[in-house]
Structure 1
Amino acid sequence: MKRFPTTRLAPHWQRLQGSHFAYRWRRDRLARLCALILTLLLGAALLAPWLAPSNPYDLAQIRLLDSELPPFWVAGGTTAHWLGTDAQGRDMLSSILYGARVSVAIGFGAVLLQALVGIGLGLLAGFRGGSVDALIMRLTDIQLSLSTLMTAIVAGAVVKAAFGGAFYGDYAVLMLVLIIGLSEWPQFARTVRASVLAETRKDYVEAARTLGFSHRRIMLRHLLPNVLSPILVISAVQIANAIMTEAALSFLGLGMPETQPSLGSLIKSGFDYLQSGSWWITLIPGLFLVVLVLSINLLEDWLRDTMNPRRYKD
């Protein structure tokens, strides 16, 4: 019988299967359920152009005569629009899928920007110390005193005054990524700095210095891989926060315009119709947002506990 050669990934896969991470994953049903729900929601959002019954951006597919149709299980609903329609006649299921795609893109893009800025400054502050550390920490204190809402108001006002509202609408996704990303980077910087301060006291850092390695190599090749655990945890937290921040800003009229569906703009567009009986326009996108953020937060809790085995007593 012919044997196929063992791939290089086999030892790593066997090591992962026997790790503490895999052990906790197999035992925690809630984490697996949240991962399944999150995978389905993210997959549906990413595949919106293929899964959505219609394109909410295409005016030719929108019929005003079909406005405010209820979901199919409510009297007056139709299976042509499973979750009903909004006040403009857009299919709610399609709008939610496309809106979730925008919200998730903003969330991940903003966290990527936060990580690039915060990790770099955190590594530099923790490794160099002294006046460099003091300067970076004062910058984080200043940034933390400026709320994301205030930053969004100022940035939106400046861009609209300089380039007009149409320009802001065309680049609203990029603007929100920049606003949320540049407002929340101190969370990464403080977390990374605290971890680096603990790592710099260990022998391998002193050995690297003795061997004459450059500061850049020590930070990127030695310190950064050893502080990945808190970075993964804070990234999960910040993704959920960024998605909620986008929804809050859009609901207040400072984020995505109503012509470009996001979860926040969908909730805002249907809020005026809530008391008139068209509850699904606001509540269904709101429920999607709650389930999405709750799944991320529960997975973050599991990840945080798994990365710190001392929390367990069994």
Structure 2
Amino acid sequence: MTTATVSRWARFRESFLWYSFWRDRVAVVSFLVFALITVAAFMSPLLAPADPYDLTQIDIMNSELPPAWMAGGDPEFPLGTDAQGRDLLSTILYGTRVSLLIGFGAVILQATLGILFGLLAGYLGGRVDSVLMRIADVQLSFSTLMVAIIVGAVFKASFGSLMFGEIAIYMLILIIGVAEWPQIARTVRASVLAEKKKEYVDAARVMGFRTKRIMFRHILPNTLSPIFVISTVQIGNAIISEAALSFLGLGMPETQPSLGSLIKSGFDYIQSGSWWITLIPGLVLVLLVLVINLLGDWLRDVMNPRLYKG
């Protein structure tokens, strides 16, 4: 580690953000839980007792086994099995990885679109601003889930269920990302409208810098705080949207488990007493979204001095 790296790390440890993080127990616990879930999900090939994608490891005779602590449970399946005989712990680990990939991928896409359109609308103004914001207004007039359902149904009808299943993860990232970009675009536009009136922007124009350089190298870095806050919250929203679409049959297929598809696959078996197939993945989904939202709330409070009271 170089001296410059050590110096930057030391300055970060002394920063207000680091200090406020360790002072907030809710933020610390939320981060630790989120980190634990994320690490376990992305290390699922190493941690999972079985591979839910490997048909040779699945025995239909083991279907609907209760968790190991209940009567009739098998220690080989700590959280029980689903209706197909797959180990529920393994499917949850693999499914959480899929849900996180979709959540982060969708937010990266919507942040890219939102930042680009927000910068253009806020800095250029005029007709560009009017056209982009009217498009955003039209899209915001529809429910995000409604847009995702319509687009998902069209893609599924166009490609067929088999083809859609192979590209489902990419389609969900595209659908959710495109459906949510107006939220970030409006936030960026508001920040740009405030920043472009400041002296450093006037100085950049006087020095002859191009519009592209002024927008991306001067204005954008000063608008990142609200982008980070809203992107954190949008990750949780994207995961919920994926779960809702999967529950409606327009998301991940049951052969490629996500938290939403696991909840859907076990919903029909609640009446028969196999509650764990739906309840346990549902609790994991609630916990994951909860800690993400708590981290987003802490980040929002810290980056807004008027709200922060730490």
Range class of TM-score, shorter chain? over 0.9
- The CA deviation string for residues 226-279 of structure 1, in whole angstroms up to 9 with x for no partner, is 111001001101100000000011011111111210000000110111121111
Amino acid at match of 1:53: P
| Range with greater deviation from structure 2 (16-25 or 114-123) | 16-25
Structure 2 residue 160 is matched with structure 1 residue 164: yes
Alignment match of 2:113 (pick from 110, 117, 122): 117
Q: Does residue 199 in structure 1 map to residue 199 in structure 2?
A: no
- Deviation per CA, 1:113-163: give whole Å up to 9, x if none: 101111000011111111211111101011112333333333233333333
**Residue in 1 that maps onto 2:94:** 98
Instruction: Map 1:33-112; keep pairs closer than 5 Å.
Output: 33-112=29-108
CA distance in 1, matches of 2:99, 2:65: 25
Cα deviation, residue 88, structure 1? 0.8
Q: What CA distance in whole angstroms lies between the structure 2 residues aligned with 1:112 and 1:24?
A: 26
RMSD: 1.3
- 1:139 correspondence with 2:135: yes
Matched, 1:148 2:137: no
What is the aligned partner in structure 2 of residue 177 from structure 1?
173
Q: Distance in 2 between matches of 1:6 and 1:237?
A: 35
Q: Indicate how the Cα distance of structure 1 residues 25 and 161 shifts in structure 2: closer, same or farther if over 3 A, else same.
A: closer
Letter of the 1:71 counterpart? P
Mapping 1:266-305, distance limit 5 Å: 266-305=262-301
The count of corresponding residues between Structure 1 and Structure 2 is 310
Shift of the alpha carbon at 1:92? 0.1
Q: Which residue, 231, 238, 242 being the options, matches 1:235? A: 231
Cα displacement (A) at 1:25: 1.1
| Paired residue type of 1:172 | A
Given that residues 110 and 180 in structure 2 are in contact (C-alpha distance below 8 angstroms), is that contact kept between their aligned partners in structure 1? Answer: yes
Give the counterpart letter for 1:39 in structure 2: A
Rounded Cα–Cα distance in structure 1 between residues aligned with 2:47 and 2:159: 36
Answer whether contact 2:245 2:251 (CA < 8 A) is retained: yes
**Letter aligned with residue 186 of structure 1:** P
Q: Counterpart of 2:256?
A: 260
Q: Conserved in 2, the CA contact under 8 Å of 1:148 and 1:179?
A: no
SS at match of 1:309: coil
What is the TM-score of this pair, normalised by structure 1? 0.96
Whether the aligned pair in 2 keeps the contact of 1:37 and 1:295 (CA below 8 Å) is: yes
Structure 1 residues 190, 52: CA separation in 2 closer, same or farther (over 3 Å shift)? same
For the 8 Å contact 2:152–2:175, the answer to whether it is kept is: no
Counterpart-to-counterpart distance in 1, 2:154 and 2:247: 20
- Asked if the contact 1:115–1:188 (Cα under 8 Å) also holds between the matched residues in 2, the reply is yes
State the 1:67 CA deviation.
Answer: 0.7
For residues 27-63 of structure 1, the C-alpha deviation after alignment (integer angstroms, 9 at most, x for no partner) is 1111111100000000111111111000111111001
CA contact (8 A) 2:62 2:85 kept: yes
Alpha-carbon deviation of 1:6? Answer: 6.1
Corresponding residue SS for 1:141: helix
Q: CA deviation at 1:313?
A: 4.7
Question: Percent identity over the alignment?
Answer: 65
Deviations along 1:254-306, one digit per CA (max 9) or x if unpaired, are 11111210000000110111121111000000000011000000000000011
Which runs of 5 or more residues in structure 1 are unaligned? Answer: none
**C-alpha contact 2:168 2:251 (8 A) present in aligned 1:** yes
Note if contact 1:119-1:192 (Cα within 8 Å) is conserved in structure 2: yes
Matches of 1:45 and 1:312, distance apart in 2: 33
The CA deviation at 1:309 is 2.2
Work out which of the residue numbers 214, 228, 241 in structure 2 matches 1:245. Answer: 241
